[in-house]
Amino acid sequence: MLPTPAPDNLRWFDGAEHLETYSDAHTPVIEGATCIIVLDLNARSRLGVLGQAIARSTATVINIDHHTHPEDFAHVVWIDTESCSTCSMVAEIADAAGIRHASMAMCLYTGIMTDTGSFRFPRTTAAVHGIVADLLQQGADPVRSFELVMNQGSVLRARLLGEALRSMELHCNGRLCVMVLQRATLEQYGCTTDDTEGFVHHTLSLAGVDMGILIIELATEVKCSFRSKGDVIVRDLAARYGGGGHIYAAGARIPARPLADVYHDVVAAAVAQLA
């Protein structure tokens, strides 16, 4: 069960047709559950109304995650902040239990691949590649995974990326790169925030840039995605605006504020951190 619909580029997995997005109709399911497993998040509030339903449940809640600063909302917790992804942790559980299945291997491989930025982010260790090698032996197909996740964008998404690249501005002597997308631009190209997945990584492709930010104007909030490298940490910057995430990859959603105000506030905070 998901708090929001799964992105289109992840609906090709075996069994994806059984994914359900939480609504009031699922309340009896949550109320009748004896065990609820929460994956890949460190705060129940990030589940929205689904998180509220879980809070009211009498079920035993298990949280498996790798994000820093976890909140205390589960009865059983496995948090490994040194892990590259929650999927690699689940792969370890499956291996210990002797569970091996090609469809499962494909899902776990894809989760590791996306969370490590195609195996280029920090914490992509030799142990991670060992887990991946085992998943490939079980039947995961790396070519098909990358093709279906990364290479299925529409021409309108490509044009939206062009607008994002055109908006790039450098600050702090070229150490900070910021991209902005207005709500009207998303509507012009018929795109959603799902279509902007991966856009922020382009900010770090410029020589000399240590921090990149993508700011997107939505109907009732402004979404900010932060990325960094080297000794620059963006997790705390995101937390300043009620968000969170990883040391080098984090995000926040800032409600009820104009885009211009958010832009100036966030950029000023980022410049102050880099100064």
Rounded to whole angstroms, the Cα distance separating 260 from 249 reads 23
**Same domain? 159 vs 130:** no
Give yes or no for residue 1 having a pLDDT over 90.
yes
**Same domain? 236 vs 123:** no
Sheet with strand 249-255: strands edge to edge: 169-171, 176-181, 211-217, 221-228, 249-255, 244-245
Give yes or no for residue 46 having a pLDDT over 90.
no
| Own/partner pairs, 264-267, CB within 8 angstroms, 24+ separation | 266/213, 266/215, 266/224, 266/241, 267/171, 267/176, 267/178, 267/213
125-153 pLDDT tens trace: 999 999 999 999 999 999 999 999 999 99
2 found inside a domain: no
Domain end residue (candidates: 100, 122, 148):
148
**Same domain? 58 vs 129:** yes
78-105 pLDDT tens trace: 999 999 999 999 999 999 999 999 999 9
High-pLDDT (> 70) share of the chain, %: 100
**Same domain? 14 vs 53:** yes
**Same domain? 196 vs 253:** yes
Whether the Cβ atoms of residue 253 and residue 219 lie closer than 8 Å to each other: no
Give yes or no for residue 8 having a pLDDT over 90.
no
**Same domain? 117 vs 239:** no
Question: Chain-wide mean pLDDT for the chain?
Answer: 95
Buried residues in 206-222 as b, exposed as e (16+ CB within 10 A):
eeebbbbbbbbbbeeeb
3 found inside a domain: no
Q: What is residue 130's predicted lDDT score, i.e. its pLDDT?
A: 97
Work out whether strand 244-245 and strand 249-255 pair parallel, antiparallel, or are unpaired: antiparallel
High-pLDDT (> 90) share of the chain, %: 90
Domain end residue (candidates: 104, 125, 148):
148
**Same domain? 206 vs 170:** yes
200-211 pLDDT tens trace: 999 999 999 999
**Same domain? 198 vs 129:** no
Both tokens of 107, joined, read 């899902």
Whether the Cβ atoms of residue 86 and residue 101 lie closer than 8 Å to each other: no
Q: What is residue 121's predicted lDDT score, i.e. its pLDDT?
A: 87
260 found inside a domain: yes
103-131 pLDDT tens trace: 999 999 999 999 998 998 888 999 999 99
101 found inside a domain: yes
**Same domain? 259 vs 220:** yes
Where residue 26 sits, what CATH number does that domain have? 3.90.1640.10
Q: Total domain count for the chain?
A: 2
**Same domain? 176 vs 92:** no
Structural domain containing residue 52: 8-148
Domain end residue (candidates: 148, 177, 195):
148
